[in-house]
Structure 1
């Protein structure tokens, strides 16, 4: 995990450009908050604790006004730990070192340093925390073993080396605990971000699925309506009875389209509501053939293999692929015949739709959203779609869908 590096006098990492990560977003949210309650509680604890420590260390300098100022300076600097953690950790380390250099009693003064170091590490300023604690330990070492003769209290002796090891262990424990909390926060932030992205992906996939369903339903029905409307207009004066038949077909096609649109939009209702009608499948292929016939397209259907129930997803995808292929024939082909072949095999469903052409327009074959939708449906099931002109003329759509037999109770 990459370390966020900040120099002693440097600003926060996001101030130098670049996209902030989860940890920096957390830091940004908390930067404007001043931690008054916790800092006030810490200041009270340090002042009271220092008074008890002074009673147990009569050989040290008594707590005077300067000592009280230094004891309060540390917690006061900690008010800056959310917005300027580097300033806080170095400031509290410096005041603690001045307190020790003045010969005042040891005690809870180190607690303020621990809080400052923790805030710096968690906010990403690891180097600053290490440098501040390292400087404090080095300064304490210098005072306790070389400068003690020149500093109060008078007559002081060199501190035992075991005490220095204890101070070093304390600093290491503070840093280790801070690092652990930092890592855990990063993990939690990353998990939240991944969950949010997963939810966004699911929402995008659902919108795409609904858009694809609406396209397939509307493209087929509107194609039928368009053809029949043209027939009705052409025969309105010369053959009113045939025009009436065309209008009847338009009414039936529009009614069915509205029903399927409502069924698709039912998926947007409150989760837990059951759909009002089952999703279409290959069992509705005769209706599809009848609709195509009303648009002037003769469709023959050939079934190979033993017909077995299909899972709902594969059944719907197969129906929509055949529907879109026939819609493309109606819209883009000059042929008035189409052949549908369905092959049932073990673990596989084959679909093939042929027409004899020729192309009726520049975009014959439906190379737009319809063909893209067919490919997406097949890919979602791990299948493939091939669509293109045949060597002998016309157009062919071929799909291979891996399927498992539908479980029966």
Structure 2
């Protein structure tokens, strides 16, 4: 069984303890371990140890309390006290390197790499000059190099963890930004859809309502059809508005399908009437479309026909789909008077058509027909991708 999962709660708990408390506890632990031989037995003569031995042991451990705030100073003070241990008279035969090892580890963790290497060289050089036994010198070199290596490994691990946290925070921030942008795009799409739905429905209703009183006495059947068209346009607008606004609900449930090219026949039939005949045709090989492209194609046709009903005074409008290898071309042509300008600044509907096409990587043009009276809207939608 791995030990690391068992140590995880302990490490998590230690992170909540103030660093000064931990360093104080560490200094006390080192002090107790190095004082123990001095208080547990007497010297070879049966007498007490030198009083300076206790002072030096305390002096070698006490600076560890400030090891994080001043790692280099802590190491120098600790090593200076350690170097005096064998020169103050009767002392217990023990190494008092623990404070120096902890201080070396601390320098490796909290100091720049170059400064840490310099302090390691100074520590080893000083130890070799003061230690008389080659075995003791070799053991000291190995221990201090190991303490430094462990410290550098810890520093590298912490730096890597910090880098991962910063990267995770940056990715999270980017995700939030992208989510906000997606929400803005969705709000813009909903606004365009609502504009198209309302403009189309209201235009049809106004045209039919204006024609109704004119023929109510002379042609009751035609007046009845006009009022039926008003009701149908209103119901259709309500259905589409509910469908569009359902995306704003947190719990929308099963959503109704969005409009597709199959609905263009119904759209053409709704726009027809009161002297306007809308003819739908297609050429080329149809193929499945991505949802964004199909909805955009429907909305483009809807807005173009709305403009015909509102502004053209035409007797005939042709809605034509042309399937090409890489594009779907949508053409709405009428024989009326048109608006006389390509994408006029006051025509929000035509501008919306251009924006829809541009959002999918396509293009749109609108203006008077070159082959006779009337107006034409021509839109190109790429088939390879969507917004």
TM-score by length of structure 1 reads 0.65
Q: Confirm whether residue 106 of structure 1 aligns to residue 75 of structure 2.
A: no
Q: Confirm whether residue 338 of structure 1 aligns to residue 338 of structure 2.
A: no
What is the match of residue 73 of structure 1? 66
Cα distance per residue 1:291-330 (max 9 Å; x no partner): 2224653322222245566554443222211111111223
What is the match of residue 29 of structure 1? none
Aligned to 1:140, which of 123, 129, 146? 123
Distance change (3 Å), C-alpha of 1:282 and 1:93: same
Q: Is the 8 A contact 1:388 1:395 kept in 2?
A: yes
Q: Which runs of 5+ in 1 are unaligned?
A: 1-33, 79-87, 121-127, 150-154, 405-409
Distance change (3 Å), C-alpha of 1:131 and 1:117: same
Q: Is the 8 A contact 1:49 1:107 kept in 2?
A: yes
Task: Give 1:1-400 correspondences, 5 Å limit.
Answer: 36-37=17-18, 39-53=20-34, 61-62=53-54, 65-67=58-60, 69-74=62-67, 78=68, 88=69, 91-103=70-82, 105-107=96-98, 110-111=101-102, 114=105, 118=109, 129-130=112-113, 133-134=116-117, 136-137=119-120, 140=123, 143-144=126-127, 162=141, 165-166=145-146, 169-231=149-211, 235=214, 249-270=229-250, 273-275=253-255, 277-294=256-273, 297-305=276-284, 310=289, 312-345=291-324, 348-360=327-339, 369-379=348-358, 381-392=360-371, 393-400=373-380
Q: Is the 8 A contact 1:224 1:295 kept in 2?
A: no
C-alpha separation in 2, matches of 1:238 and 1:364: 40
C-alpha separation in 2, matches of 1:36 and 1:295: 83
Post-superposition offset of 1:195: 2.9
RMSD, matched Cα: 4.4
Count of matched residue positions in the alignment of Structure 1 and Structure 2: 341
Post-superposition offset of 1:191: 2.9
Distance change (3 Å), C-alpha of 1:55 and 1:361: same
Highest CA radius of gyration, 1 or 2? 2
C-alpha separation in 1, matches of 2:20 and 2:208: 80
Distance change (3 Å), C-alpha of 1:259 and 1:69: same
Post-superposition offset of 1:212: 2.4
Higher relative CO (Cα under 8 Å, sequence separation at least 6) belongs to 1
Cα distance per residue 1:153-183 (max 9 Å; x no partner): xx99996694565565455434433333333
Residue 102 of structure 1: SS of its match in structure 2?
A: helix
Q: Is the 8 A contact 2:30 2:99 kept in 1?
A: yes
C-alpha separation in 2, matches of 1:159 and 1:368: 91
Q: Is the 8 A contact 1:387 1:396 kept in 2?
A: yes
Distance change (3 Å), C-alpha of 1:269 and 1:348: same
C-alpha separation in 1, matches of 2:174 and 2:77: 47
C-alpha separation in 2, matches of 1:261 and 1:318: 18
C-alpha separation in 1, matches of 2:37 and 2:157: 29
Residue 116 of structure 2: SS of its match in structure 1?
A: helix
Residue 278 of structure 1: SS of its match in structure 2?
A: coil
Q: Which runs of 5+ in 2 are unaligned?
A: 1-14, 39-48, 86-95
Residue 337 of structure 2: SS of its match in structure 1?
A: coil
Post-superposition offset of 1:263: 1.0
Distance change (3 Å), C-alpha of 1:365 and 1:240: farther
Distance change (3 Å), C-alpha of 1:44 and 1:96: same
C-alpha separation in 2, matches of 1:235 and 1:142: 111
Cα distance per residue 1:233-263 (max 9 Å; x no partner): x859998968776555434322221111001
Post-superposition offset of 1:70: 1.8
